[in-house]
Structure 1
Amino acid sequence: MSDRRQRLLDYLAENDGWTTSGQLADRLGVTTRSVRSYVTAAKSAAEPLDIIVSSAEGYRLNRDAYAAWVGQRSGDSGGDRLYRVVRQLNETPDGLDVHELASALFVSESTVEADLRKARPILDECGLTLRRQGSRVSVQGTEENRRRLVSRLFRAESARGFVEVERIQNEFGSVNLTAFKTDLLDLLGAGGYFVNEYGLDSVLLHVAIAVDRTLKDLVPTDAAATVPPQGELAPGILDLLDRHFAVTLSGADLEHLVMLLTTRVITPGHDLQAHEQTEQLGLTDDVAFVREVARRASERYLIDLDNDEFAVRLALHVRNLVARARVSSYSRNPMTRSIKTSYPMTYELAVFIASEIQRKESISINDDEIAYIALHVGSHLERQSRREEMVTCTLVFPNYYDIHLMMLRRLEAALGDEVRVDKIITRTDIDRAEIDTDLIITTVPALALGDSTVLVQTFLTDDDIDTIRRAVRRVRRQQRRRQLKDELLLYFSEELYVRNLSARDEVDMITQLGERMLAQGIIDEPYIAGAIERERMSSTAFTDTVAVPHSMLMSANRTAIAIAVNDHPMDWGENRVNVIALIAFSSSGRNSFQTIFDQFVEVFSERDEVQQLIRGSVSFSAFIEELVHLMDS
């Protein structure tokens, strides 16, 4: 099956509802006619199973039929056959006969020869070579590179999803990992370690490979010599391996597993205070560096990262990150895409921190590792974030003993997290216009006029509480709509808005939008160069439909956005986007911009909303009105 047909199936698999041919065409970079042909071809290949359902609303995957078809395909495709050929060659030190291999696979010898040609670059990538002597072929290379090949093949097969224990279990039938994982977690917890669950399954893959090859007696004698284990983890791991698999790994294997655990999965000190962790784990220099980076980030992004626990946790993570990066052994993060889409400002802050680490350590940090930094930053910001601003209220009702105090206590007990009573008025001869508050709650019918006033009973009932709660939501909505338009107009302008701006590539688009800002005196040439440099580090396509290029320099004269809204998408990194928003940041405008920016990107996470915005943005004023409507929704 062609790559684009498989991508079509993958995209349908990611969505639960209907997907139109236009949406698929945008995603694949083809015409709707091509989409229809891909659907027809995919359905034909899966007959008699009906894997794609079609209707006037578009296409949807029949998940049960698709799962059955995928199961049937196992071992039938050329890719699966190549996988089996390479695995057999890797596990047969004496090599394989091409004629016998073709017969066993029920294919022609020319097909096997073609598979061997495809296998060469895979083997080369892992430091192995394919040797040919007559009709016999064999793989030559070290034990370490043979294991790298197994891992590489497994990861290629699992590239579209999280590498789970069950998948590894199915691949290595002789290795039971579930109970081993449970006991390993207990061992790590008892040792006082934080555990990164995302990295653990990746390490279990290496455990499975090592155990499987040892049990099959595929490890060379010189590599199997036991080396006395080093470090506090090694004895416990040796004991677990013996109890679960009745196997003793070589010293090299054990050392490798301990290294993987310490750099990918665990950080010590979850039961220590921040200052104790710093002292006992030798983190003084690491924490000092993180604090300095956090200080610069706080100045640049106007947020508070001054926290002892945050500095120590991030320092532990950075220490392991640097160790991984030095050997180009990065941890895969299955949440990278969702973090970039849902928390763009947090991700951008993580990019800044990663750039500082790269500069100091002379390493390269990829998107997955940046997303892990974003998890640290995001969890810290969430813990320290203040609750949403409450709606202010004034209580107005005639004075009678302490009845007003009874109402106040009832109101605070029911809505204490949503409203704040600023004033209690016990007279009725007042001018309502003089009351400066978000909401008036009163027992006086004559005062109960307008959306910002709620009429209640003398003794608050449950219905009264529900009515007040609805009024609070209504007030917040009205406030938000007023604020949104005013705030958007601080950053967008008609001079920086353009429809259907064509560009050759990302650099050309950034340059064109940057020149418009340059003409307005908002930025200078170095800012455009900085935006291009930032783009090359990590794509700023935070969703499938919008890219937000920018520089990490905050040298703009004011914070502003130059935006292109295009009917037809353009390639941007691995995405195809219709909207490109070049952002210029000034040091004074970053804080007020953050909330707007997060909401702006959120709008573009829903393709239907994006299409509505594109269709409705026939002018700048229409664009602003449509954007306010979608952000408010």
Structure 2
Amino acid sequence: MENIHINEDEISYIAFHIGSYFERRKNLEKKIICAVICPNYYDMRLQLIQKLEKKFHNSLEIIKVLSDSSEIVLLEEIDLIISTLPLKDEQTPSVFVHPYLTEEDYGYIQIQLNKLNKQKKNRKVKQYLDLYFDEDLFMKNVYLDSDESYIAFMAKLLYEKGYVSIDYGKSVLERERMSSTAFNNNVAVPHSMHMDAAKTGICINILDRPVDWGKEKVQIIVMISINKQQRELFSPFFEGVINILSEWRNVHELIKAKDYNDFMEKMMRLLNEN
């Protein structure tokens, strides 16, 4: 271990720049990363860049400007190429534009941005689904005699898969006794009052016919375990899931899922529409 001492001013300076780095990374994740190919004739290139940044500053981040297509091989992590020169056999999505942008050029760029943003959202949703759902935690038509039985059964499954401690079911039951977690007369979301799970995950039971949950009837039971360190990442995704489950037409669609893969496809489509 190096014997290096850093004073408080230096620590504040480093922390500020590290924070700025992560903030820039976060902002970049929301944008399409772009390279522009344009010969450097007089101020034509500068005007092109300025127009693009003015028009698409919220959705496009230009990180490379090249003079010709021979430099494309050097590009990495580029989502889109905007070029005033014709491109051949380019695998990266591209838009050919005039050196002095026309309204038609703006339209072509926007179409490509919409397409790429949709693809990016699909990939992100798929990533979250794969991260928080598990085929081993998915059940279809497991019928038990009470809400307490479902809680005990699903908590045991989460425990066996390494998500929660052995006492998790007691914590969920304690929360359920305070007030029912059933809502919309279709869905129950039993959970603990504590975010002390080893891993964040979702255990789900889909039922063809309604079952009693306290004074309500439900057809989807979703038990969640939340790890405190994963809360910020998980919360926006789970909010999207709850929004879907809040509408009967979505619940009706999900309960028709034949198996885990069918359920995941339906959930992905609904999340993308949400």
TM range (shorter): 0.7 to 0.9
SS at match of 1:422: strand
* 2:252 is the counterpart of 1:630: no
> Could you tell me which of 194, 206, 230 is aligned with 1:565?
206
Cα distance, 1:470 vs structure 2: 2.2
1:601-612 to 2 correspondence within 5 Å? 601-612=242-253
CA shift in 2, pair 1:606/1:453, >3 Å = farther
Aligned to 2:79: 438
Q: Is the 8 A contact 1:393 1:439 kept in 2?
A: yes
SS at match of 1:497: strand
SS at match of 1:577: strand
> Could you tell me which of 135, 150, 159 is aligned with 1:509?
150
Q: Is the 8 A contact 1:448 1:455 kept in 2?
A: no
SS at match of 1:416: coil
> Could you tell me which of 401, 413, 416 is aligned with 2:42?
401
Aligned to 1:546: 187
* 2:219 is the counterpart of 1:578: yes
> Could you tell me which of 462, 469, 474 is aligned with 2:110?
469
Query: Which structure is higher in RCO with an 8 Å CA cutoff and minimum separation 6?
Result: 2
Structure 1 residues 495-531: Cα deviation after superposition (integer angstroms, max 9, x where no partner)? 2111012233322221111111122232223221111
**What letter corresponds to residue 632 of structure 1 in structure 2?**
N
**What letter corresponds to residue 138 of structure 2 in structure 1?**
Y
Q: Is the 8 A contact 2:199 2:226 kept in 1?
A: yes
Residues in 2 aligned to 1:484 and 1:607: alpha-carbon distance in whole angstroms: 22
**What letter corresponds to residue 141 of structure 2 in structure 1?**
N
Cα distance, 1:542 vs structure 2: 4.6
Cα distance, 1:595 vs structure 2: 2.3
CA shift in 2, pair 1:428/1:489, >3 Å = closer
Q: Is the 8 A contact 2:133 2:201 kept in 1?
A: yes
Q: Is the 8 A contact 1:397 1:444 kept in 2?
A: yes
Aligned to 2:165: 524
1:23-172 to 2 correspondence within 5 Å? none
Structure 1 residues 80-117: Cα deviation after superposition (integer angstroms, max 9, x where no partner)? xxxxxxxxxxxxxxxxxxxxxxxxxxxxxxxxxxxxxx
Residues in 2 aligned to 1:388 and 1:602: alpha-carbon distance in whole angstroms: 24
SS at match of 1:430: helix
Gaps of 5+ in 1: 1-384
Q: TM-score with structure 1 length normalisation?
A: 0.37
Cα distance, 1:575 vs structure 2: 4.6
> Could you tell me which of 258, 261, 270 is aligned with 1:618?
258
1:309-324 to 2 correspondence within 5 Å? none
Q: Bigger radius of gyration, 1 or 2?
A: 1
SS at match of 2:145: coil
Residues in 2 aligned to 1:538 and 1:439: alpha-carbon distance in whole angstroms: 50
Q: Is the 8 A contact 1:527 1:555 kept in 2?
A: no
Aligned to 1:330: none
Residues in 1 aligned to 2:27 and 2:250: alpha-carbon distance in whole angstroms: 30
1:165-180 to 2 correspondence within 5 Å? none
Structure 1 residues 119-157: Cα deviation after superposition (integer angstroms, max 9, x where no partner)? xxxxxxxxxxxxxxxxxxxxxxxxxxxxxxxxxxxxxxx
Residues in 2 aligned to 1:398 and 1:518: alpha-carbon distance in whole angstroms: 61
Q: Is the 8 A contact 1:517 1:523 kept in 2?
A: yes
Structure 1 residues 384-426: Cα deviation after superposition (integer angstroms, max 9, x where no partner)? x989822221111222112111111111221111112112112
Residues in 1 aligned to 2:199 and 2:252: alpha-carbon distance in whole angstroms: 30
- Larger relative strand fraction: 2
RMSD of aligned alpha carbons: 2.5
CA shift in 2, pair 1:544/1:404, >3 Å = farther
Cα distance, 1:574 vs structure 2: 6.0
Q: TM-score with structure 2 length normalisation?
A: 0.81
Aligned residue-pair number:
248
Aligned to 2:10: none
Q: Is the 8 A contact 2:211 2:217 kept in 1?
A: yes
Structure 1 residues 581-609: Cα deviation after superposition (integer angstroms, max 9, x where no partner)? 11111222222212221221222233223
Q: Is the 8 A contact 2:181 2:188 kept in 1?
A: yes
Residues in 1 aligned to 2:241 and 2:182: alpha-carbon distance in whole angstroms: 13
Aligned to 2:135: 494
SS at match of 1:562: strand
Residues in 2 aligned to 1:406 and 1:574: alpha-carbon distance in whole angstroms: 66
Q: Is the 8 A contact 1:547 1:580 kept in 2?
A: yes
> Could you tell me which of 59, 63, 82 is aligned with 1:418?
59
SS at match of 2:143: coil
- Larger relative helix fraction: 1
Q: Is the 8 A contact 1:510 1:531 kept in 2?
A: yes
- Alignment identity in percent? 31
SS at match of 1:621: helix
SS at match of 1:466: helix
1:192-203 to 2 correspondence within 5 Å? none
Residues in 1 aligned to 2:190 and 2:110: alpha-carbon distance in whole angstroms: 41
Cα distance, 1:466 vs structure 2: 2.2
Gaps of 5+ in 2: 1-25
Q: Is the 8 A contact 2:78 2:92 kept in 1?
A: no
1:185-224 to 2 correspondence within 5 Å? none
SS at match of 2:125: helix
Structure 1 residues 318-357: Cα deviation after superposition (integer angstroms, max 9, x where no partner)? xxxxxxxxxxxxxxxxxxxxxxxxxxxxxxxxxxxxxxxx
Aligned to 1:389: 30
